[in-house]
Amino acid sequence: MELYIYNTETSEVMAVVTGKDNTACEDKADDLYNDDNIGWSYTDYGLIETTDTEYFDA
């Protein structure tokens, strides 16, 4: 499963976390980014991956 961490103002994907379940992905995402301008999504619909997008395992 993949969790996309994105900037809510620009819709740019900052990171993609791959994990076995929601809890693992969300725990890793919380460790990486804890900011009011950050959103999480389990789909990439409408989001923009860039060359700056980072990839992590949960």
**Cβ distance 42 to 16 under 8 Å?**
no
Query: Which residues of the chain have a pLDDT value below 50?
Result: none
pLDDT at 36: 84
pTM: 0.91
pLDDT at 35: 82
Q: Which region, left, alpha or beta, applies to residue 47 given φ > 0 means left and ψ of -120 to 50 means alpha?
A: beta
